[in-house]
Amino acid sequence: MTISLRGLTKVFPGGVRALDSLDLDIGEGEFFALLGPSGCGKTTLLRTIAGLETPTSGTVAIGGADVTALPPGRRDVAMVFQDYALFPHMDVTANIAYPLRIKKVPRARREAAAAEVAGRLSLSELLGRRPAQLSGGQQQRVALARAIACRPQVFLFDEPLSNLDARLRLEARTFLKRLQDDLGVTTVFVTHDQSEALALAHRIAVMDAGRIAQVGTPAEIFRRPATTFVASFIGSTPMNLLPGRVAGGTLRVAGAVLPAPSGLPDGEEIVYGVRPEYAELSPIPRDDAFAGAVTVLENLGTSTLVTLEGGGQDGDLLVQVVVPEGEEPPVGTSAWAVPHTGRALVYHGDRLAGPG
Amino acid sequence: MNAVRHVLGRLASAAFLALVVGFFALPMLWLATAPFDATPSITVSVPEFTLANFRAILDNPYALGSIGNSLIQAGGAAVIVVVLAALAAYALSRVRVPGRDALLYVLLLLSSVVTGTAAMVPIFELATRLNLVDTHIGVILVVSGGLLPAAIFILKDFMDATPTSYEESARVFGASPLQILRHIVVPVVRPGLATIAVWAMASVWGGFLMQYILLRDPAKSPSAVILYTLYTEGGQPNLDLISTFSLLYSLPVVLMYLFVSGRYGFRFHGGIKQ
Amino acid sequence: MNTDAAGLGRGRAVTFVLPALVLIGVFLVFPALWTVYLGLTDYRLTGLAAADPQVVGAGNYTAALGDERFQRSLWLSVQYVLGSAIIGQAGLGFAIAWTMRGRRGPVRRIVEGLVLLSWILPSSVVAFLWIALLDRDGGTLNVLLGTPGAAWLLDHPMLSIIVFNTWRGTAFSMMLYAAALENVPPSHLETARLAGASTFQQLRDVVLPRIKGHILTNMLLISLWTFNDFTPFLITAGGPEGRSEILPFYVYTTALRGGQLGFGAAVSFLILLINLVFALAYLRLLRNRDRDLREAVA
């Protein structure tokens, strides 16, 4: 089922504008992530698709049919909540079978269906237990099973992995991706964790202040973030974003002279973006590099994050570079960070003007 | 020096606790011994054990009936208080009605200001005009009105502490509001409902003033009032009857408190007892 | 953020709240308001004024305030509240909670159990237990003290009901103070002890400042309850000769026994006003504490 949102706006009674005339299309069978910092409106958007929130204006269509006025129970969606919302007084079977109980499926049939779904998620041993007797990972699978049992057109997951501890989270991530592949049902999930969105989703919408900053595949979003907000939000180490100016067909950024993309008039202010992974350190001065003193070394395991301090006119710019194991410069020495110009991004008026 | 002071301190606190135990136990000793004493007197004494005194309850024309009346009135009030307070608390907890906080504030204020003592005159007058004097329903309605504000307050606390995602989850699966209430909300807040039910039962069971004012007919009176008439009406008090009846009448309250504190832990609420 | 989790809707929400509000309105709010009107009339239970009550304005109030019996009742009520609630219940409750702090096991369970039991037993039962205890001829107290024939209830009626109500109501103060004392961080007491503070100094400098709010809350609540307490009526009925006739008994005897409903309502209204002062002070305290909490969090 496709989902399309048109001009969606949600203003809460307090005057908070959680969604701001938002348009979005989600394709059939897509695994779609809503990504953003807390308060960006991603959860409100998910709840509006579910029907738990009524939009102030705009429409929600599922499978081509306008469902804006339909109550949540008639939209044929299933939602997994952040806290799983497993009913504490029902055992696993009764929890999984609950959607079928609402649909008036006879007890024997719904229990058989629950057992079948539970079997697929390796929950067969736990059918008689109460939620309080389950581990976090088991609870999450019961919540998924309950959503699957009602065979919805669309799955909605609110931060599906955030209640799991770090190690379990990786395992559950792989499991979730395989499950969505198998089921092939359109799935929208909310997350604040960019690595989770990159790993799971076919496409991602990055949200900021009730609007969509960028929609794209994980590769597009990672390689070509459309705005500096997206650029700073995506990536496990934050991107270097350095102010600069266009001068005579080149860019002057923190003392470095770098090639400029075409079409930018002389004298314009720009922001030069380069990921720490897409720069290298030079021990000798270079024109196309940012100069600074090595102040901090952070070991990332197979590599090291090096912080250079002292670029720019005021000498207060920080530039970070990831260097391979064993190539760390000593703290206190001078070094030059050389951006890979093919991977660098130039933002003009907060829009991507092209690779540097 | 310090060790001496420490020992003296321990001795003083032990002596104080012994005095406390004595003070609180002394009046209750009679209730523990007299019912089983072959010749009960007003003085506490080691009983010459017998259960024959309990026959006195059967011989009195009103004693057993009054237990039934207490049950009807306490049970009726508990049902009304639990049902009405739960509905109100649920709506107030889940739906944002304008003026909700002010309403709750006024309710809390009212429940502590308008006590039976302060309102006995108008309540008696009101019950007379509504023909509620000498009826069970009169007692039930009047005491329920007094218990409801605190009950709503306590239950709203319970409801507020329950995540809304349970209800939202059921709603996405298509459950109607009444199904959500029946399948999810009531079972989840059951400890709160039980606490309120026991609390309402216990306060009406032990309550005296309203029942005393609203009931003239001994055939309708609850045990609280009948027991009082047993020791205030003229003549030599019948100690067989008073002792056994007191014990029988006290037992349910004690059991209810034990049940609540054993099952749910003794939740400490300001106005749990009036 | 979320305004209606179960999709109840305003209409159903109002239907849910209404029955409770109606019952509270009819049997709690209306009587309170009606008291104001009744207090301005010469309404009586029987006779001419019962059929056709006249508005007498503030007459009942001036009559009550000028009535020596009313003045005595008010004074006895003040003694009753100060003696049994503030000194008796709060004092004994705190002493027990303090002595038992940190104590576990059977002693604590026995003490708490007995104190609680005296709180939960029905009024008519405990009233008779005290009548028996204080009985002139065979009362256990006289047997214990070797003072046969001492008529406690006749010679010292106020003292008797004050001690009775201390016995009856200490449980609440004890539990509240026990909870409050558990919230005093042990590290603070240890710091004071390391500095060489005596038990009294620890109490004054560490404990009291931390539980000030609880003390005030407790005082207000138990004063309000004690002021409205009707239970000792079952023991002395206000006698002998009105020497234990606290305000609740005064209203009962004049209005419901004596039939002067208008006059009784006027006195009831005065009680309501006094209750209101206590309750407003209490709610203000609660609000301040909420605000302090919010500020502490923010």
Hey, what domains does chain B have and what are their CATH numbers? 2-50 (no CATH), 61-264 (1.10.3720.10)
| pLDDT in the model for residue B265 | 56
Is the distance from CB of A322 to CB of A303 less than 8 angstroms?
yes
pLDDT tens-digit readout, A321-356: 999 988 889 998 989 999 998 889 999 888 888 775
Phi, psi dihedrals of residue C276, rounded to the nearest 5°: -60, -40
Q: What is the CATH T-level fold of the domain A240-355, as seen in this structure? A: OB fold (Dihydrolipoamide Acetyltransferase, E2P) (2.40.50)
Phi, psi dihedrals of residue A294, rounded to the nearest 5°: -70, 120
Is the distance from CB of C188 to CB of C210 less than 8 angstroms?
yes
Chain C residue numbers with beta carbons less than 8 Å from the beta carbon of B112 are 224, 275, 278-279, 282
Higher pLDDT, A185 or C193: A185
pLDDT, block means (10 residues), chain B with 274 residues: 78 91 91 80 76 78 87 94 93 82 83 86 89 92 92 88 90 89 90 88 90 90 88 78 88 85 56 37
Classify C238 in phi/psi space as left (phi over 0), alpha (psi -120 to 50) or beta. left
pLDDT tens-digit readout, A80-98: 999 999 999 999 999 999 9
User: Exposed/middle/buried for C238, CB within 10 Å: 0-12, 13-18, 19+?
Assistant: buried
| pLDDT in the model for residue A311 | 59
Q: DSSP assignment, residue A165?
A: -
Contact A99 B174 (CB under 8 A): yes
Contact C1 A12 (CB under 8 A): yes
* Angle (CA) A21 A22 A27, round 5°: 150
User: Exposed/middle/buried for C129, CB within 10 Å: 0-12, 13-18, 19+?
Assistant: buried
| pLDDT in the model for residue C3 | 58
| pLDDT in the model for residue C49 | 65
Give the mean pLDDT of A113-132.
Answer: 91
| pLDDT in the model for residue A4 | 92
Q: Of the candidates C2, C3, C7, which has its C-beta nearest A71's C-beta? A: C7
Residues 122-181 of chain C whose Cβ lies under 8 A from any Cβ of chain B: 122-133, 135, 137-141, 143-144, 167, 172, 175-176, 179
Q: Which of C24, C40, C220 to mutate to test the interface with B (most CBs of B within 10 A)?
A: C24
> Band of the pLDDT at A204, cuts 50, 70, 90?
very high
**Chain C contact for A72 (CB, 8 A cutoff):** yes
Q: What percent of chain C has pLDDT over 90?
A: 30
Handedness of CA C288, C290, C291, C293 (dihedral sign): positive
Chain A residue numbers with beta carbons less than 8 Å from the beta carbon of B187 are 87, 89
Does residue A288 surpass a pLDDT of 60? yes
> Band of the pLDDT at A139, cuts 50, 70, 90?
very high
- Tokens 């024959």 map to which residue? B52
Chain C residue numbers with beta carbons less than 8 Å from the beta carbon of B119 are 28, 31-32, 35, 268, 272
Give dist(CA B93, CA C13) in Å, integer: 10
Chain B residue numbers with beta carbons less than 8 Å from the beta carbon of C24 are 107, 110, 145, 148-149
- Give the chain A residue whose CA is nearest to the CA of C6: A52
Give dist(CA C189, CA C182) in Å, integer: 12
User: Exposed/middle/buried for A216, CB within 10 Å: 0-12, 13-18, 19+?
Assistant: middle
Give the helix ranges, DSSP H, for chain A.
42-50, 92-102, 107-120, 136-149, 166-183, 194-200, 218-223, 228-233
Is the distance from CB of A307 to CB of A294 less than 8 angstroms?
yes
Higher pLDDT, A40 or C283: A40
- Tokens 């303090």 map to which residue? C98
Domain limits, CATH 3.40.50.300, in chain A: 3-225
Q: Work out the mean pLDDT of chain A and round it to a whole number.
A: 90
Give dist(CA B97, CA A91) in Å, integer: 35
Domain limits, CATH 2.40.50.140, in chain A: 240-355
Q: How far is C118 from chain A (nearest CA, A)?
A: 36
The whole-angstrom distance between residue C110's C-alpha and the CA centroid of its chain comes to 25
Q: What residues contact A270, with CB distance under 8 A and at least 6 apart?
A: A243, A244, A245, A246, A251, A253, A264, A346, A347, A348, A353
| pLDDT in the model for residue B273 | 36
| pLDDT in the model for residue C160 | 93
Is the distance from CB of A129 to CB of A91 less than 8 angstroms?
yes
Give the mean pLDDT of A111-124.
Answer: 91
CATH number corresponding to A3-225: 3.40.50.300
ipTM of the complex model: 0.86
- Give the chain B residue whose CA is nearest to the CA of A51: B172
**Chain B contact for C92 (CB, 8 A cutoff):** yes
Interface residues of chain B, partner chain A, Cβ below 8 Å: 96, 163, 165-166, 168-176, 179, 183-184, 187-188, 190
Give dist(CA A94, CA B222) in Å, integer: 44
Is the distance from CB of B271 to CB of B112 less than 8 angstroms?
yes
**Chain B contact for C36 (CB, 8 A cutoff):** no
Task: Tell me whether strands A186-191 and A154-158 are parallel, antiparallel or unpaired.
Answer: parallel
> Band of the pLDDT at A111, cuts 50, 70, 90?
very high
pLDDT lower than 50: segments of chain C: 1, 296-298
Chain B residue numbers with beta carbons less than 8 Å from the beta carbon of A82 are 165
Interface residues of chain A, partner chain B, Cβ below 8 Å: 13, 50-52, 71-74, 77-79, 81-83, 85, 87-89, 98-99, 101-103, 150, 156
| pLDDT in the model for residue C298 | 40
Q: Of the candidates B96, B166, B183, which has its C-beta nearest A85's C-beta? A: B166
Between helix C59-66 and helix C68-80 the angle, nearest 10°, is: 70
Give the start-end residues of each E strand in B4-127: none
Q: What is the CATH T-level fold of the domain C68-297, as seen in this structure? A: MetI-like fold (1.10.3720)
